Chains A and B, each alone.
Chain A
Amino acid sequence: MADLKGLAEAIINGKADAARELTQQAVDEKTAPKQIIDEGLIAGMSEVGRRFKANEFYVPEVLIAARAMHAALDVLKPLLAESDVQPVGYVAIGTVKGDLHDIGKNLVAMMLEGAGFQVIDLGVDVPPEKFVEAIKEQKAQIVALSALLTTTMPAMGDTIKALDAGGVRGNVKVIIGGAPVTQSYADEIGADGYAADAASAVDKAKELSAK
């Protein structure tokens, strides 16, 4: 009987090796990948998100929990390709052009993965065209933009304009985040949503996916 509760615990406590082993065990026992993800990974990461919101966990714990989740996911990846596990949604995420900051963006990416999204991480210093490409070629439904400087924030507006010009704006929802970003800025540039931290980003992404 696969220890999915134990897997969730391993992820919550950031134990990457245990997470990898327990996932492998579950796979060896022919547990369905979807169940492993739901009861192990998603259960673990949503508890992480809850504790983060409750100020019990802080960035350090989220970082190591995300690392443990990734270790588990690495074991599952080849199986996911074969199975018919559908991700909750497809998200293209990146830090906008001119900006190299990635820790916050990485946290959001990991939390989204932990919530069952398929994440296309475009990295940092991402020009608008690459986002357009991700939508056209990899079927991204949500575009998540990160910027850490007021000087690079305008690239968010540029990206939304590029989506328009590329004829894909109507097919996606755009969410933005980063230290200087605010809800009113999101409204100003026509984004669909704004989130102040990784946990709320997941909530927002789920909310927008349901629409």
Chain B
Amino acid sequence: MERIRVTIQPEQRTVEVAAGTTALDAIEAAGIGLEAPCGGRGRCGKCRVMVRGPASTPRATERRLLGEAEIAHGARLACRARLQGDAEVLVPEEARLGRGSIVADGVERQVALDPAVRKIFAAVPEPSLEDQRGDVERLLATADLAGCVPDGIELARRVPRVLRSSKFRVTAVAIDGLLAGVERGRVSANPLGMAFDIGTTTVVGYLMDLRTGQQLAVGSRLNPQSRYGADVVSRIEFAGQSPEGLTTLNRAILGALDEIIDETCEAAQMRRRFIYEVAVVGNTAMHHLFLRLPPESLAVIPYVPVLTSPRYVPTQSVGMRLHPNARIYTLPNIAGFVGADTVGVALASNLAASPGLTVAVDIGTNGEVVAAADGRLLACSTAAGPAFEGARISQGVRGTEGAIDAVAFGDDVRIHTIGDAPAVGICGSGLIDAVAELRRVGVVEEMGRMLGREEAPAGLPAALRDRMEGSGGEARFLLVRPDEHPAGRLVALTSRDVRELQLAKGALYAGIDILLRRLGAGVAQVDELLLAGAFGNYVRRESAVGIGMIPALGLSRIRSIGNAAGSGAKLALLSRAMRAEAAEIARKVEYVELSNDSAFYDRFTGAMALAPMGEDRG
């Protein structure tokens, strides 16, 4: 019976089990307690985990309990998924035994639930000649609330009918101690919240139960603003080109957010009217375009934003249709190019409290890097470009179903796609793996040139050599041949794709290098390096080190923390204490303007090689 190795994240604990073992058994073999109230019979849907590696195809039970969208993002029921080869299983907080802490895939931060939105059941005393208080006042008194939300007149209009049609037994919803909504009877549904991570290329939304802290559903979209420019600067230019430019960009992102709201509510069988609060993170430009703030000043020296402090905005005024009195909380920005999403990363990874020198790297279009040491927090934006998120890569896609997210070379190519679906393209983590492997076997040279088949290194397995096509600037490598694909499609990595990745990773590395120098430290002093990125972008550490995207630290010092920006948005949504901490982080961070740093150009040039970088002596 074949034995396989399963690594449980984020503990990084590995066990050896027989092939065909369920993820649930593997997790328990690793000594980790998993919530499985139905005893692993596939009835309750509570044992939701993320599986990376070959596993059995999800069948009806899983599809019903998890929903297609979740499965498309790599989620499985641990009791149903049978692992067929070496795999990684990520056990999120909410599936662990003894919860009550906040969900944050891949990021271990336990925080007490302290949402701004509360549901209160009120048995309101009926009016009488002795008690002639107004309807609203008696409701507020019973529910022990200080007043109504500002502009709550529409609410007041509803109160009399709701009270009298339910024998004065109602469910009130309060935001920050102010009445925001009222429903008849004892409503079992909990107030909901949305946490959005508006990335330049990928937008992710999480539907959260504000009472239990549970994540109910997740949805993602390509940021439709991409049509008007792949990167932040070109979008800002578009906004400035005509009076309608900003409105067009604003409408585009609101449209995507609305679709995600639809999708997640549908998946969780919830109504959007129960969504009372929305927390949003995004880089500064995305933040501005979302709030329809004029972004032009971001693009020219000295790159100042319109607004950096956190803000509460009624959803109505932004054009989001949720509960009429719902509000948005935007996390603070740090500078023109380092925004609320970086604050989210720092918050989720608890960077400010880390004991030694910790570096968090966001592998995305703007490539933000945050470094913490000796009570200082430094941040920079490396403007890496959208290669990590699939853009500018010939067959690049987001981390969605069918995306190749892992690649390994043996005698032939082994790929893994999200959802185990037929390959539709390659996403960030797959791209980094592919280039790392191509480098390892010598099909791509250190300076980035992809060899043609005639130049194939001696000793290269024939199957690999046969996947090499073209030459010079037209060289490409077939990760999936047409005969290997049910629809006869092919997926290839081109020589140009390697160049795009090279430039992106060079910028990222240079940014890390410069922040370390500013802290007076070298690679050897880094205690931990955290890799964050858009949903589905779980980058393999060995590959990231192999191509010189991050310093060559021992693997035990590198940790993937998934979509930490999104986790930060979730934390802020579910805890007011986290909002205060976010504000503190933004105040504390020292922003480093790379284009002003004379060393950047030299560091960038020095980081071009696709090879491990930085001396590491353990």
Interface residues of A (CB under 8 A from B): 14, 54-56, 58-61, 63-64, 66-67, 98-103, 106, 124-125, 148-152, 180
Contacts and interface: CB of A to CB of B under 8 A. Distances in A.
B605 A64 contact: yes
A-B interface, 10 closest residue pairs, ranked by CB to CB distance from nearest: A55-B473, A60-B608, A100-B595, A58-B499, A63-B605, A98-B300, A60-B502, A60-B448, A150-B237, A56-B472
A63 B473 CA distance: 18
A98 B301 contact: yes
A100 B596 contact: yes
25 contacts: A14-B447, A54-B472, A54-B473, A56-B449, A56-B472, A56-B473, A58-B448, A58-B499, A60-B448, A60-B499, A60-B503, A60-B608, A61-B447, A61-B448, A64-B605, A67-B602, A67-B605, A98-B301, A100-B596, A149-B300, A150-B237, A150-B241, A151-B240, A152-B300, A180-B237
A130 to B, nearest CB: 15
B206 interface: no
Given A54-B472, A60-B447, A60-B506, A101 B595 contact: yes
A151 B447 contact: no
B509 to A, nearest CB: 12
Interface string B495-510: 0100100110010000
Contacts of B237: 149-151, 180
B296 interface: yes
B307 to A, nearest CB: 21
Nearest to A148: B233
B312 interface: no
B83 to A, nearest CB: 40
Nearest to B383: A101
B503 A151 contact: no
Contacts of A151: 237, 240, 296, 299-300
Q: Is the interface of A mostly helix, strand, loop or mixed?
A: loop
Given A63-B608, A103-B601, 19 more contacts: A14-B447, A55-B474, A56-B472, A60-B448, A60-B502, A60-B506, A61-B447, A61-B449, A63-B605, A64-B447, A64-B605, A100-B301, A102-B601, A124-B595, A125-B301, A149-B233, A149-B300, A150-B241, A151-B299
Contacts of B296: 151
B538 interface: no
Nearest to B502: A60
Contacts of B448: 58, 60-61
A101 B301 CA distance: 10
Interface in B59-109: none
Nearest to A97: B301
B196 interface: no
A102 B598 CA distance: 11
B604 interface: yes
Interface in B590-616: 595-596, 601-602, 604-605, 608
Contacts of A63: 604-605, 608
Interface residues of B, number: 26
From B448, B506, B602, B608, name the one whose CB has the most chain A CB atoms within 10 angstroms. B608
A180 B472 CA distance: 28
Contacts of A103: 601, 604
Nearest to B302: A100
A100 B605 CA distance: 18
A152 B296 CA distance: 12
Contact of A59 (B241, B449, B474, B503): B503
Nearest to A102: B601
B77 to A, nearest CB: 45
Contacts of B473: 54-56
A38 B93 CA distance: 66
From B447, B499, B604, name the one whose CB has the most chain A CB atoms within 10 angstroms. B447
Contacts of A58: 448, 496, 499, 502
A139 to B, nearest CB: 27
Contacts of A148: 233
Contacts of A150: 237, 240-241
Contact of A64 (B472, B595, B608): B608
B159 to A, nearest CB: 52
A61 B609 CA distance: 9
B395 to A, nearest CB: 19
Contacts of A101: 595
Nearest to A55: B473
Contacts of B596: 100
A59 B472 contact: no
A194 B472 CA distance: 28
Contacts of B449: 56, 61
Nearest to A103: B601
Contacts of A54: 472-473
From A54, A58, A61, A152, name the one whose CB has the most chain B CB atoms within 10 angstroms. A58
Contacts of A180: 237
A100 B237 CA distance: 16
Nearest to B472: A56
Contacts of A60: 447-448, 499, 502-503, 506, 608
Contacts of B474: 55
Contacts of B301: 98-100, 125
A14 B446 CA distance: 12
A14 B233 CA distance: 31
Nearest to B303: A100
Contacts of A64: 447, 605, 608
B193 to A, nearest CB: 38
Contacts of B605: 63-64, 66-67
B473 to A, nearest CB: 3
Given A61-B448, A63-B608, A149 B299 contact: yes
Nearest to B608: A60
